[in-house]
Structure 1
Amino acid sequence: MAVIPVALAGRAYEVHVGRGLIENLGEIAAPFMRKERIAVVADAGAWAAHGRRIERSLGEAGRSIAVFEVPPGEDSKSWRSLAALVDWLLDQGIERGDHVFAVGGGVVGDLTGFASAILKRGCGFVQVPTTLLAQVDSSVGGKTAINTKAGKNLVGAFHQPSLVVADLATLDTLPARELRAGYAEVLKYGVLGDRAFFDWLATNGVGVIKLREEPLEHAVATSVAMKAAIVAEDERETTGRRALLNLGHTFGHALEAETGFTDRLLHGEAVALGMVLAARYSARSGLIAQDDAEVVAGAVAQSGLPASTRALGLKCDGRKLVGHMLHDKKMDAGTLPFILLRSIGEAFVARDVALDDVAQFLDEELAR
Structure 2
Amino acid sequence: MSRIKVGGETPYDVVVGTGVLGELPSLVGEARTVAVVHAEGLPEIARPVCHGLTGAGYEVHPLPVPDGEAGKDVKVLAGLWSAFARLGMTRTDVVVGVGGGATTDLAGFAAATWLRGVRAVLVPTTLLGMVDAAVGGKTAIDIPEGKNLVGAFHPPAGVLCDLTTLVTVPRADYVSGLAEVIKAGFIADPRILELVEDDPEAAGRPDGPHTLELAERAIAMKARVVSADLRESGLREILNYGHTLAHAIEKVEGYRFRHGDAVAIGMVYAAELSRLAGRIDAGLVERHRAILTAVGLPTSYVTEAWPGLRDAMRIDKKARGSRLRFVVLDGVASPGRLEDPGEDLLKTAYERVAR
Question: TM-score, normalised on structure 1?
Answer: 0.92
Aligned-pair distance for 1:22? 1.3
Asked whether the equivalents of residues 276 and 345 of structure 2 are also in contact (C-alpha less than 8 Å), the reply is no
The Cα RMSD (Å) is 1.6
Map 1:189-200; keep pairs closer than 5 Å: 189-200=184-195
Whether contact under 8 Å (2:119, 2:157) holds in the other structure is yes
2:101 is aligned to 106
Corresponding residue for residue 275 of structure 1:
267
Match for 2:279 among 269, 284, 287? Answer: 287
Q: Quick one: which amino acid aligns to residue 5 of structure 1?
A: K
Q: Tell me the percent identity.
A: 36
1:7 matches 2:24? no
Amino acid at match of 1:336: L
CA contact (8 A) 2:273 2:345 kept: no
3-state SS, counterpart of residue 45 of structure 1: coil
> What letter is aligned with 2:248?
A
Query: Which string of whole-angstrom CA distances, capped at 9 and with x for unpartnered residues, describes residues 198-230 of structure 1?
Result: 222212443332123651111111111100100
Looking at structure 2, the residues matched to 194 and 29 of structure 1 have their Cα atoms a distance apart, in angstroms, of 28
- Does 2:252 align with 1:252? no
Contact 1:204 1:215 in 2 (8 A): no
Show the counterpart of 1:140: 135
The answer for the alignment partner of 1:16 in structure 2 is 15
| Number of corresponding residues | 355
Alpha carbons 1:98, 1:124 under 8 Å: kept: yes
Q: Contact 2:31 / 2:58 at 8 angstroms: preserved in 1?
A: no
User: Which residue number corresponds to residue 341 of structure 2?
Assistant: 353
Structure 1 distance, partners of 2:298, 2:152, is 31
What residue number does 1:362 align with?
A: 350
Q: What displacement does 1:246 show?
A: 0.3
SS in 1 for 2:41: helix
The unaligned stretches of length 5 or more in structure 1 are: none
Tell me, in whole angstroms, the C-alpha distance in 2 between the residues paired with 1:234 and 1:255.
Answer: 27
Q: What amino acid maps onto 1:325 in structure 2?
A: M
Superposed displacement of residue 187, structure 1? 0.5
Q: Distance in 2 between matches of 1:24 and 1:142?
A: 20
Residue equivalent to 1:45? 41
How far off its partner does 1:364 sit? 4.6
Match of 2:206 among 207, 211, 215: 211
- Structure 2 contact 28–157 (Cα < 8 Å) conserved: no
Question: What pairs with 1:1-368 in structure 2 (closer than 5 Å)?
Answer: 1-9=1-9, 11-26=10-25, 28-31=26-29, 33-35=30-32, 37-46=33-42, 48-212=43-207, 214-239=209-234, 241-262=235-256, 265-309=257-301, 313=302, 315-316=304-305, 318-366=306-354, 368=355
Q: Do 1:322 and 1:355's aligned partners in 2 also have CA atoms closer than 8 Å?
A: no
Q: Are the counterparts in 2 of residues 321 and 359 from structure 1 also a CA contact under 8 Å?
A: no
- Is contact 2:111-2:117 (8 Å) kept? yes
